[in-house]
Structure 1
Amino acid sequence: MAEGEKDRGGGSTGMVHLARLLQFSDSTLPIGSFAFSNGLESALQTGVVSDPESLLSYVHLILRQTARMDGIALLHAHRAARAGDYATLLRADDELFCRRVGEEQQLMLTRVGKKFAELVLKIMPSPTLGRWLDDIKANATPGCLPVGQAIALAHMGVDEVEAFVMHQYGIASMILSAALRLMRIDHLDTQRILFTAQGRVEGDYLSVRDLSLDEMASFAPVFDVLVAHHTTTHVRLFMN
């Protein structure tokens, strides 16, 4: 297939494929993720995170939890999008939303998910993504970000491994971007942490790729406590 030629999924190959994947991986993608810290704000306030090394441990915790929740939903939604199975897309969306503890976590997933769908549809046509956005607006589905990413990336011809890596990178990048505004840390430390944390992505993928939606779960009581703490704090820079 010639470089730049479109594949049957509506995507493209070679250099164009990589460039567009990088675009959707960019931490500056205007979907509102800058407003969320994924629990880091409370982790700092309670002393769970206090320095670069404890920040690295926190990023590892969130990536592990995300792989076993959002990552499983993303993989099933991606496979469903490629198969034209819209019912499974909606099930993945609902199952993930119901398993996210706390109103703020649900708000993060759905607000950013809707913004992502709106952005992508401004850039390229995607009938399935358009249908999903209509269902979000009609309150027929929650609109979780990993499901929106799965639909868009499947349409572009991105495989599930690439989609999983992109999602996990986005989570780590979100936390570290918040860290720069919340604690005494510089860009060199955050890039070191990001580089180190990404070393776990293949293991995380292999650990969840064969799990069903019913097996989607994560045991992270410290994180759940931090989420609850953030809803009652009086001084907040981030929405979660």
Structure 2
Amino acid sequence: MHFARLLHLVDSAIPTGAFAYSYGLESSVTFGLIRSGFELRNYLYSFLQQVASLELPFLLSCSHHAGLDAGLLPIAEEYDALLLVPVLHRASITQAKNWLRLLESFYPDAALADISRWHEDAGLPLHFVPAFALALTRLGYPAIDIQAMYLHMALRDQISAAIRLGLIGPMEGHRLQHDFYAVFEELLSRHAGRGYQQATRSAFLLDTAQTFHDDIYSKLFQN
């Protein structure tokens, strides 16, 4: 039942705001980085590689400081400094608030509000990745499951955005999602044991497209 509860927390119907964001997919299409199904597949692989190299180390490091000790401070500072794209920075903070508000309603005795208060006292914004890891660790989930579920959410939301943008149909999208699960084990294995000090960015062209998202004339998504 513990794992079933985790599956529920990352279900697409959970109102954490993830489906309001395209994470650069929309701007990548607008600026010509994705023009075919083949290029979409390449984009998704690059996107997941960056999620694995950048986010997984922070998820692991945060899971070691769920007690909100002083060791969390450099992690929170570093993650905030690495979110250079304004729209992603805003989206991350919004999702973190929604995520914690939801989990506090599910687990009122887990004192999850302490996570928000700790960041407020530190003068730092609470982002979704730290909030995701800290909350689930405090609820008893192991780091490897937290990392796998985060990869799943990242891929799922990109596939959903591609379907709503009309790049692919629902059946093709879910077949593509199924195919990409084959690379999860390799990504998790490659970045196993890496802490936040080993986090790296690997998809600078995608970052550039995200930066110009606010210049898109017509948008389906907030970013």
Q: Is TM > 0.5 for Structure 1 vs Structure 2?
A: yes
1:192-218 superposed Cα distances (whole Å, 9 cap, x missing partner): 111122222222222222323222121
1:216 aligns with 2:199: yes
1:141 aligns with 2:124: yes
Say which of 14, 28, 31 aligns to 2:16: 31
Larger RCO (CA within 8 A; separation ≥ 6): 2
1:107-158 superposed Cα distances (whole Å, 9 cap, x missing partner): 122110111011100110322x311122455672221112111122212221
- How many Å separate the matches in 1 of 2:131 and 2:105? 14
Cα distance, 1:181 vs. partner?
1.2
Q: Identify if the C-alpha distance between structure 1 residues 139 and 108 changes in structure 2 by more than 3 Å, giving closer, same or farther.
A: farther
Q: Secondary structure at the match of 1:237?
A: coil
Aligned to 1:49: 34
1:216-235 superposed matches below 5 A: 216-235=199-218
Equivalent AA in structure 2 for residue 65 of structure 1: Q
% identical equivalent positions: 24
Equivalent AA in structure 2 for residue 56 of structure 1: R
1:157-203 superposed Cα distances (whole Å, 9 cap, x missing partner): 21111110000111111111111111242111111111122222222
1:86 aligns with 2:86: no
- How many Å separate the matches in 2 of 1:237 and 1:187? 17
1:199 aligns with 2:182: yes
- How many Å separate the matches in 2 of 1:112 and 1:63? 19
Cα distance, 1:222 vs. partner?
1.0
Unaligned ranges ≥5, structure 2? none
Name the stretch that deviates more: 151-160 or 31-40: 151-160
Aligned to 1:4: none
Name the stretch that deviates more: 183-192 or 166-175: 183-192
- How many Å separate the matches in 2 of 1:198 and 1:77? 24
Aligned to 1:18: 3
1:239 aligns with 2:222: yes
Number of equivalenced pairs: 222
- How many Å separate the matches in 1 of 2:172 and 2:159? 10
- How many Å separate the matches in 2 of 1:222 and 1:159? 33
- How many Å separate the matches in 1 of 2:75 and 2:192? 14
- How many Å separate the matches in 2 of 1:151 and 1:212? 15
Aligned to 1:153: 136
1:59 aligns with 2:35: no
Unaligned ranges ≥5, structure 1? 1-15
Aligned to 2:158: 175
Name the stretch that deviates more: 134-143 or 167-176: 134-143
Q: Secondary structure at the match of 2:215?
A: coil
- How many Å separate the matches in 1 of 2:159 and 2:33? 15
Residues 60 and 193 of structure 2 are in contact (CA less than 8 Å); yes or no, is this contact kept in structure 1?
A: no
- How many Å separate the matches in 2 of 1:139 and 1:71? 23
Aligned to 1:13: none
- How many Å separate the matches in 2 of 1:60 and 1:233? 24
RMSD over aligned Cα atoms: 1.8
Aligned to 1:8: none
- How many Å separate the matches in 2 of 1:94 and 1:196? 36
1:185 aligns with 2:171: no
Equivalent AA in structure 2 for residue 172 of structure 1: L
Q: Identify if the C-alpha distance between structure 1 residues 52 and 28 changes in structure 2 by more than 3 Å, giving closer, same or farther.
A: farther
Residues 89 and 147 of structure 1 are in contact (CA less than 8 Å); yes or no, is this contact kept in structure 2?
A: no
